[in-house]
Structure 1
């Protein structure tokens, strides 16, 4: 599974800060509180950043959830991604979420769902189309995105419909977390604070278990030299999708390691942008059918 190193995070933050002023024609609204909490809720207050073109109307939207082994990361590191996507006419939302060891995956998913609902209710103010919301993430963030894209219960618990039109999973971790923690208990110990020691919990937060009725389109981007556990879980996920007769868009990146799968987006001409933007364009152009999708 993925590990983010402090020096790498510092590099990204410095790079993004230095380069952010070079981009023109972009609005950035930052540190907007999106969580709904009350005295009976353990969910902490969290914020998000919105990036959008100065002249925008009814543009597709992408919510991005960062990786970091479910225990590290922050939205500011990914300002570069928000700015670059906005320059390509995709309104982009980058949200924080609670992290391990103080919180577990169910709390993270609940907050990510609230970020999606905030986006649905507010993104038209920023020129985004509330009916064209895509969710994306890298590594652990891709796991959270996959959970929301494959299981409507997290929105139903909030009394809402799933607003996600498609999901982009960048080198996703945890697609079959039950398999991983069951078959590699020693290696998986470092994730127990996020996933607990309850196999039923692992099962509930393994997106592979919810493909039977899957309707939301998925794009998976996989690096050839990613972690073996990620590669194997992607293979298992794709095999299950084929068995369920659900077609997943898939792109393979020769020679790419896990962290370069996200750092490639520092470069405006990367294959990653071509694949992500192509997927969003393709799905946005589809005409909804009678089932509402």
Structure 2
């Protein structure tokens, strides 16, 4: 592939990112309005600063809590951002945290380390560590540690699916049981990266090797599809009708495997939606994902 083609591919990739940032800017005014219904605790370290791998930027999370009080602990949703495993920040998704808190959920929006600094196995470790911190501390913020759900879009959706099903991510850090009670997957990427990278069907697929490495056994290790079992936690999964072909294919495959194992789940294809609008729709309160999510986690509206 010549320089001109590479430049064009990079430019195409920047277009949806630019649209995402523009959408966030336009809806930031809405974010100020809904902030009165929630509290934000910002930049909490979920890895000890004395840990040798501690990242002062990436090992941080934000907590969004409803301002109203509740006699019992509220359901908790840990949100993992997208960005092709090499970009993204919790700070871009504050509106999602605010929206969830306004609707009676304690939201935890996390950062995790990115490529090229680390590869996906380390990112999965980070997401598990953030969930462990949540289980240990969320009661202090009004959340119920026995009702922790994970949610993610794009790369974050693949990581959410992985931590929901790979129990070893928790036992390696001393937790005897995976605390996740369910997963909400919004146009998730990487559900079967073993198959995807083995085939290399699409232009630019080689770029993912920076995050996943070049070893097929590792690709399989970080693919949530291969961890599904009959007692896996329930799943809400959404895909855009016009999303990327790789995501369309892997979500159908994931849905089929969920059906085969009898795992409680719902899979919805949203008409006309592309990949980026699948997350920007969450800036609005009244969308199908929130409506389903609130029932799924058992939230009581604030």
Partner of residue 238, structure 2: 221
For residues 249-284 of structure 1, the C-alpha deviation after alignment (integer angstroms, 9 at most, x for no partner) is 2122111111111111111212221122222229x9
Whether the 8 Å contact between 1:150 and 1:214 is mirrored in structure 2 is: no
- 1:15 aligned residue (19, 23, 26): 26
The whole-number CA distance in structure 2 between the counterparts of 1:27 and 1:245 is: 39
For residues 212-270 of structure 1, the C-alpha deviation after alignment (integer angstroms, 9 at most, x for no partner) is 34421111011111111101011111222223333322122111111111111111212
More off after superposition, 197-206 vs 27-36: 27-36
Whether the 8 Å contact between 1:16 and 1:78 is mirrored in structure 2 is: no
Whether the 8 Å contact between 2:37 and 2:101 is mirrored in structure 1 is: no
Q: TM-score of the superposition, structure 2-length normalised?
A: 0.87
- Give structure 2 stretches of 5+ with no counterpart: 1-11
The question of 1:175 aligning with 2:188 is answered no
Give 1:8 deviation, angstroms: 2.7
- 1:246 aligned residue (250, 263, 266): 263
- Give structure 1 stretches of 5+ with no counterpart: 285-293
SS at match of 1:171: strand
The question of 1:35 aligning with 2:47 is answered yes
- 1:273 aligned residue (290, 293, 298): 290
- Structure 1 vs Structure 2 CA RMSD: 2.0
The question of 1:101 aligning with 2:83 is answered no
1:149-160 matches, within 5 Å, as: 149-160=164-175
Whether the 8 Å contact between 1:170 and 1:221 is mirrored in structure 2 is: yes
Partner of residue 132, structure 2: 117
Aligned residues: 281
Partner of residue 60, structure 2: 47
More off after superposition, 184-193 vs 149-158: 184-193
The whole-number CA distance in structure 1 between the counterparts of 2:95 and 2:206 is: 33
